[in-house]
A and B are shown apart, each in its own frame.
Chain A
Amino acid sequence: MANYANPDVLVSTDWVDQHKNDPNIVIAEVDVDTNAYNEGHVSGAIGWNWQTQLCDTVRRDVISKADLEKLLGSSGIDNNTMVVLYGDNNNWFAAWALWQMKMYGHKDVRIMNGGRKKWLAEGRELSKDAPSPTAKTYRASERNDSLRTYLRQAQEAMNSSGTVMVDVRSPDEFSGKVLSPPGLPETCQRGGHIPGAKSIPWGKACNEDGTFKSADELAALYGGQNVTADKNVIAYCRIGERSSHSWFVLKYLLGYPNVTNYDGSWTEWGNLVNAPVERGA
């Protein structure tokens, strides 16, 4: 796959079509639009709801270890299962799910390149049947927070020459012209970006068909803004899902060693009292 640093983290739609009935593989669809799965999905794929199943629904946080173990176990996944994730919007929330699974130590989790969009556009087989997987026992590792940035770390990083922050939201969100993407609720009090952050919208990493751009194109995209492998890189967006997509690109496709996702993102920073904010392009 296009000379990526870790090509094994991606599988093609063709590969999924050929392996969708393999009992050692679990395919899971995670969509931004939580209704999409019910329209029809890859035959045998389970559906995970990011709003209720991939987060802590009481306090703002990622899924707990216990809930992840329950979710994966009830999905027919054990610690040795290969999990293939895909979803709408070029795999936004598939990447979000992968980020969390990696924090809890799952070894073999991959993304279907191009996601739901490519599968549908190629006219591949769909099913409306919800699978009933045989439950398995899943034992998650303690959460590895080295893949994550918290507010305090983001504040410290702002003044560190060895760290670069990448704002992956749209240019209008970055500049402060809008508080949220058109049609979505405004969830922050102030617009703009973290001082010093580079604007590299997540979608620039994708081709028109939803697949990831080549390693050379990705290296030029990030390297052109001095986001390079020798730095600590922190990706952020509005709520942490678009930035998990960019985190995946930087960490796995380009192989940068130190990349984290600041999932508090702008809905945290843009609501802080007396926090520094930069406006404009």
Chain B
Amino acid sequence: MIALVRTEFVKAAFRTRTLVIALMLVGLPTLIVVAIKTRGNRPGRGDNGEGLFRLAQQSGLLVPAAVLSIMSAFLLVVIAGLLAADSVAGDAAWGNLRYVLMRPVGRTRLLIAKAAVAAILIWACVFVVAVTALVAGLIAFGSHPLIVPALPGTGGSATAAGFQLAASTVLTRVAIATVYVAFGFTALIALGTFFSTLTDTPTGAIGATVGVYIVSEILDGITQLENLRYGLPTHYLDAWQPMFTQNVYPHDMIAGIVVQLAYLAVFGTAAALWFRRKDIRS
């Protein structure tokens, strides 16, 4: 299995697109930090004043959380979709898949290896973003404790008390947030791998995967759907943010992990069953 993962990793990682992605993942956090540092936080420019970006100007330790909050909303979704949905379909499009499967290689093992490589790469992407943002943030804003001011409660009647987080606490929570964001792509990897087994056209599989996420985001915005929203793969993706804005470890993070694992079980099983029965025609 290790050999199979290694070969799939080399095939997926040693590509020009990997270099382009790496440059984006290093460049964008740096650009964001430079923008915040030079232009400051202006009311009405996408940050309501209490958000992570305003807080991040106090301490560079919080910059990774701020950067992840926007990059995990779309760019990292596209990258994860690309990595997962291209895994089988890309190999099929090259015509290489049939040669791999003419070896004594179990199809389920191959699928697991491909999904594992997609997961390894998206975790690496998230960590590159976090580390880059941390380095840039420390250079720009230093490593100070975080002071969160009192926030107006909902309806304006109650007021949430302010609090202070030590630098070590901020760093620990940033690490937890980074792991949670990376784990939040589990459902996407499962969906992408499933779609990848359905077609020999990588662009179709990538489009379907990212499309499901966009639809999920739209549905999640419709509050009338009530409990149905809790089963959407995107519903709990931002559940980590109250660690910094409300000084709590949210129970929603546990729910988010459960939802991700459920999608992994359902679509991972579906992908394996389909791939085992599939005629390789590419």
Decide whether A and B are members of one complex. Answer: no
A residues near B, CB below 8 A?
none
B residues near A, CB below 8 A?
none
